[in-house]
Amino acid sequence: MTEASERLNDELNQDIILQKMALDCLIKRKDANESNLDEVTCPIIWDGILCWPGTPAGILSSLPCPSYIVGFNPLGYATKQCMADGEWFWRPEANGTWTNFSSCYSNEMTDIIRRFPDIENVSLIRQYVPLMKAVSHIGYAVSLVTLIVAFCVLATFKRLRCPRNKLHMHLFVSFMFRAFTTLLKDSLFVKGVGLPTDFAMRNGESFFKEENNLNWQCKTITSLWQYFIMANYSWILMEGLYLHNLIFFAVFSDTSAITTYVILGWGIPVLFVVPWVLVRAFLEDTLCWTTHENPYYFLLIKGP
């Protein structure tokens, strides 16, 4: 049996054990709810890895790190804080209770549950994703240069200044900003997660810093990136609407006629990106907003 196959087998066994322990924990919690407790305690809870017993208020509960999690150090201890009001410590950015597994990690590559039914596909992804990223960057760079040239040509020659070409210039700008923000994000972000200042080195390994969620620089870049992606699609729609109205209504002939399209082209994305920013800031303020733990929140900008 190869090393990859052994690891896959361990992870599948891990999944089976977790499912059984989750069921056992639910049974324990149900039995505990039927008994009356006079003191204020935090209830039995399953955090996805461990089943935490009922704990008196204000006590820091600890359990040995589970040996059934691939990569965990069984000699360490996980902790979970029971607050004074009888509720487990709640972490707003995770939108749930929080367990400290920091002493359980034997290395930064520890995974809770991973399923790779086809190891060959994983190796192919690792092999070709960097190549695809490089091709993407080259394409964006070439597009950015050619669009700048085209924009300068349209802006320089007065004979080319007409409502239709001005609309084209806005479309070019949307493509330019999309390419620029994509290249900026990919060049600045470490592993596509965040800026170098958002990481801390510990024992030669890098860890993302989430203290007080002060990673506003990387979140701003991510928000602008999402806005210009939507603005790009919005301007493609404006081009289509303009040509449709020009053919079927033939009323847009003066320069001021494109004002409505300009407002809609740059304004429509705001109606979707701003709510997404607010949702991420208050409901899912994790990392640099480059990951999407709740797919329904992402639909705010992905859906349109």
Quick one: pLDDT band at residue 201, thresholds 50, 70, 90?
A: low
Tell me the domain boundaries of the chain. Answer: 2-100, 123-303
Domains 2-100 and 123-303 share a fold: no
The pTM of this model reads: 0.59
Tokens, residue 140: 């964006």
Fold of 2-100: Hormone receptor fold (4.10.1240)
Residue 95 pLDDT > 80: no
What's the whole-number mean pLDDT along residues 117-133? 60
- Return the percentage of the chain with pLDDT > 90, whole number: 26
Quick one: pLDDT band at residue 34, thresholds 50, 70, 90?
A: low
Residues 26 and 29: their CA atoms lie apart, in Å, by 5
Fold of 123-303: Rhopdopsin 7-helix transmembrane proteins (1.20.1070)
